[in-house]
Chain A
Amino acid sequence: MVSGGNASSLPLVGGKPEPTIKELSSPGRRASKFPKLDVPEVKINHESLKKEKARLPEVSEHDLVMHYSRLAHRNFAVDLGFYPLGSCTMKYNPRFADSIASDSRFANMHPSMPEEFTQGCLKVYYEIGNYLCEITGMDDASFQPPAGASGELTGLLIIKKYLEVNNKNHKTEIIVPDSAHGTNPASARMAGFKVVEVETDSRGMVNIEKLKEIVNENTAGLMLTNPNTGGLFEEEILTISQIIHNAGGLLYYDGANLNAIVGASRPGDMGFDIVHSNLHKTFATPHGGGGPGSGPVAVKSFLREYLPGPIAENKDRRYNWHQPENSIGRMHGYHGNFLVTLRALVYMKLLGKEGLDKLGAYAVLNARYLSSKVSQTIPLAYDEPCMHEFVASVKDLKKSHKIKAYDVGKALLDKGFHSPTIYFPLIVEEALMFEPTETQSKETLDDLAETLKFIVDDLQKEDTVLEDYPKNLPVGRPNELIPAKYLTVNWGDFELLEITE
């Protein structure tokens, strides 16, 4: 029997559903207590004050703590098991970083304080800026973007502003590979650019000949990850950057896959002008169930004055905010996600030169090893050495047994593993994208490969009903049509539906 992932011992027991906090509510109960009002109480007449109380649940503190703890038990996490989730870099998040980020001397700082009062916070931005620029090969960084997609938009707005200031308004086209993340074209459109797709060649890399055909005087720039979304290093990157630069365009590096090359190679040396990084991927800050993240943008010095400001500077041993002259403007109400940035700095300090120099290599080692094992069960999409992630395809299984990538992912859940990323990149049929990260052990990788083999055999059995997977979890596959059609997005909506239908 395959032992399953190291999360297969989880007490994710099925049975009854957890009521909502509203269903647990009972009139007159409360958890909160405040000090008695210590100023003389007066009658305040104001047209905006209401008489009735807010509609909120009434629960005791123990009920509240039990409820949210039970809900926590119904969730998978990095601290419980393995996420081989391609393009997401679900590595271990050091506990130590939590303790620094919880220090009230950081966590309780008000964002509108004058810089004299916040020298520590400014130093955090200054120090991590140095680390990030050295790692990416850039010169200056802004930590305003609160997430990767926001970092992308920042990069594109910088390109736009740069072209405007230099009277090149005719440059309106952003080139994006057909394998790119969906956020790339969405961000380009938001920044007001026209999106032009460039094809991927049979090796899984940017088709240089097609790129030459597309590039012209209207080319504003190219957005690229390297390694690309197929997990392959774009070996012709220097040629690509030459083509774009010769046309007067800028090169934007999407940091989604930065983990593969940390310490080995740098986007700045490849010719990229702008880099966004995802601190929640490469620099191990917790994903928080889908945020908060942080998507700082680093640029070559000629773009420094376009960054979203203010950015931290150090002059005469004092830190101050610098407002870039041609700044695209703010991307966040204050300074971005400070506590996330702080966590990433903690991680960088703990790894230091030794750890960071080898970071990419270990991430690649794990992926290369896992790809070697997985390829014995599921064919890989590309016959090239992978970097930190790789893409496999079950298109043959779909043809022979109607087994889709989706079904393989769902069956893995039963075995204590998170699903790999599925149906991405879009250009690979029935894609399963695996990214093990450097923090998983050889045994876990072996275990995943064996489990996949077991699953693929199991799903091919004659009596298999694919829709039944997963079988051992609190719920099976939810009906996705009901909420989309009837908008059951607020409590009471579903019950109302049951009454009316």
Chain B
Amino acid sequence: MFVPHSELDLKKMFDELKINSLDDLFTHIPDALLLENGLDLPESLSELESIDYFDDIAARNKSDLVCFAGGGHYDVYLPQTVKSLTMRPEFMTSYTPYQAEISQGILQVLFEFQSLVCDLTDMELANASLYDGATSIAEAISVAINKTKRDGVVISSGINPNSKEVINTLIDRNKFNLHYVDLENYLFPSNFEFDESQAAFVVSYPHYEGSCQDLTSLVERAKEKGLVTICYVDPSMLGVLTTPGQMGFDIIVAEGQSLGSPLSFGGPTVGWFATKKEFARLVPGRLIGESRDKDGNKSYVMTLRAREQDIRREKASSNICTNQTLNAIGSAIHLSWLGPEGIFEMGYHAIQKANYMRKQLIKNGYVIPNDDSSLREFLLEVKTDAAEVINKMGDRGFLAGILYDEKHILVAVTEKRKKVEIDNYIVSLMEADNG
């Protein structure tokens, strides 16, 4: 399938090659390595049959739940412009823009993506994206280690637990000391003492549990000791939150799903990476620059390629050779669609609705341990087993949130949630969470 050759074509091609069959192509391969009867796989399906096959699989997902889960991936409204423009085949089916003259479209969108990320976070330089939020944190830590030549890393425990696992995989713990610092009352201890053996300070903004704090003075104190300060930010809240750049961070990384990508069961999404120009030569991944051709026409081109693996081989600082271009394009289009007012409303409605939800929960006898410091996401203390509650809420049409521990569910509210959904959630919760 998808092979265009007719019998006539095959005959002409075989004649050119002086062979009689496809098998003759492989006479140089040792017989022991050739598959005699081909692969043990089912017969092909037509598109029509495949529709049924995949319909059956899709129907096994509980896909109609009203989503109150977050943790980095948020059920925000994804506008049709993003969906249809990212499906354009010129974006979707093109290769990495190494050949600049026939890739100005992708190059310019990525340049705009980089610039939009910088404007939104108040940074100077962003790359053309990384795999996802979790791997971006690990890449940022590598940059800090390379920059400072130190071996300690201070990491807030208030980051997504899966991200911790990714960091633990990608940063060699035999060489580097990862020091996870527990939050106190859901906030990073403001009196934490940094020292000069430490390469990086990594903190989530807001924290995984949803609490948020001004990190300016912590950043200042970490920098006094020469640490590279890294902020993992929820970018969809930057219409209302003070930016990481304003707080003085050196590097910001983000899970960019909520700007331009559907939830996608976690992938593909996009990792954002922005920093200051002094870090330019340590930045992982691709970078697009603006230039001119010999006639003075504006042109974009991949730049600082000498850092990349295909040129530096084992000396490269990172082995990354793809980014998540299509999702980065989605981010650029979504941000342009939102504009300053849209991204403000997106964040403002989310925190208003989350605030309403917390107050209603409290009114109905529930405890929200981080009610004071949280914004759009918060911990809900349940009375029975949290995993059980999530299951029972599923039967009632809700994805109640993310299992945090036996007693707590992490609940996220986006601008998309309606008052009636929140009210019904609480009614259902009181049924489901009833020993």
Contact = CB atoms under 8 A, between A and B. Distances in A.
A65 B87 CA distance: 13
Given A55-B120, A190-B318, A238-B30, A68 B101 contact: no
Given A75-B102, A439-B2, A110 B67 contact: yes
B125 A146 contact: no
Interface string B230-253: 000000001111110010000000
Interface stretch (A209-217, A244-252, A359-367): A359-367
Given A75-B94, A440-B4, 14 more contacts: A20-B108, A32-B337, A67-B336, A74-B105, A77-B93, A80-B90, A111-B73, A112-B402, A148-B321, A190-B318, A288-B325, A291-B326, A336-B266, A339-B264
Interface string A320-358: 000000001111111111111000001011111111111
B242 A365 contact: no
Sorted from nearest, which 8 A-B pairs have the closest CB atoms? A483-B289, A352-B44, A334-B266, A111-B266, A32-B342, A75-B105, A333-B134, A288-B326
B340 A53 contact: yes
B322 to A, nearest CB: 4
A71 B191 CA distance: 50
A50 B28 contact: no
Contacts of B119: 54-56
A397 interface: no
Interface in B124-175: 124-126, 128-129, 131-135, 160, 162-163, 165-166, 168-170, 172, 174-175
Nearest to B125: A489
A110 B75 CA distance: 8
Interface stretch (B12-20, B192-200, B425-433): B12-20
A418 B102 CA distance: 8
B362 interface: no
Contact of A149 (B88, B92, B206, B320): B320
A49 B242 contact: yes
B54 A153 contact: no
A32 B403 CA distance: 33
B265 A353 contact: no
A345 to B, nearest CB: 8
Contacts of B277: 487
Contact of B3 (A291, A439, A470, A492): A439
Most buried by A among B54, B106, B422: B54
Interface in A425-460: 438-442
20 contacts: A17-B298, A72-B85, A100-B54, A107-B263, A108-B75, A108-B263, A114-B387, A149-B320, A153-B319, A192-B172, A293-B322, A330-B169, A334-B266, A336-B267, A385-B25, A413-B99, A418-B99, A479-B294, A482-B291, A493-B290
Contact of B102 (A46, A362, A413, A440): A413
A85 B98 CA distance: 11
B344 to A, nearest CB: 6
A457 B355 CA distance: 72
Interface string B328-364: 0100110111111111111001011101100000000
A379 interface: no
Given A56-B340, A470-B101, A44 B169 contact: no
A170 interface: no
B177 interface: no
Contact of B338 (A32, A104, A354): A32
B352 A338 contact: no
A109 interface: yes
Most buried by B among A59, A438, A484: A484
A290 B95 contact: yes
Interface in A473-501: 473-480, 482-484, 487-494
A186 B316 contact: yes
Contacts of A182: 308-313, 316, 321
A267 B323 CA distance: 27
B111 interface: yes
Given A117-B394, A146-B267, A77 B92 contact: yes
B89 A80 contact: yes
Contact of A71 (B34, B43, B109, B128): B109
A309 to B, nearest CB: 10
Category for how many chain A residues contact B: 35 or more
Interface of A is mostly: loop
Interface string B279-308: 010000011111111110111110110101
Contacts of B375: 46, 48
A68 B333 contact: yes
Interface stretch (B45-53, B178-186, B221-229): B45-53
A40 B311 CA distance: 58
A121 interface: yes
A378 interface: no
A291 B322 contact: yes
A220 B418 CA distance: 57
B289 A489 contact: yes
Contacts of A40: 356
B3 A238 contact: no
A49 B213 CA distance: 10
A18 to B, nearest CB: 6
Contacts of B419: 38-39
Nearest to B10: A365
A147 B131 contact: yes
Contacts of B99: 76, 409-410, 413, 418-419
A106 interface: yes
A449 B210 CA distance: 60
A72 B309 contact: no
A21 interface: yes
A333 B240 contact: no
Interface in B1-44: 1-5, 9-10, 12-13, 16-17, 22-23, 25-26, 28-30, 32-35, 38-44
Contacts of A91: 2
A369 B17 contact: yes
Given A34-B349, A39-B356, A329-B169, A489 B303 contact: yes
B255 interface: yes
Nearest to A440: B4
B106 A290 contact: yes
Contacts of A71: 104-106, 108-109
Interface in A101-156: 102-114, 116-121, 123-124, 127, 131, 134-135, 146-150, 152-153
Contacts of A413: 99, 101-102
A59 B336 contact: yes
A308 B420 CA distance: 41
Given A40-B356, A73-B105, A146-B135, A56 B336 contact: yes
Given A55-B120, A335-B266, A475-B299, A355 B293 contact: no
Given A30-B341, A106-B58, A289-B329, A18 B309 contact: no
B293 A477 contact: yes
A237 B373 CA distance: 61
Interface in B71-89: 71-73, 75, 77, 79, 81, 83, 85, 87-89
Contacts of B69: 110, 112-113
B30 A189 contact: no
B88 A90 contact: no
A109 B342 contact: no
Contacts of B205: 48
Contacts of A127: 57
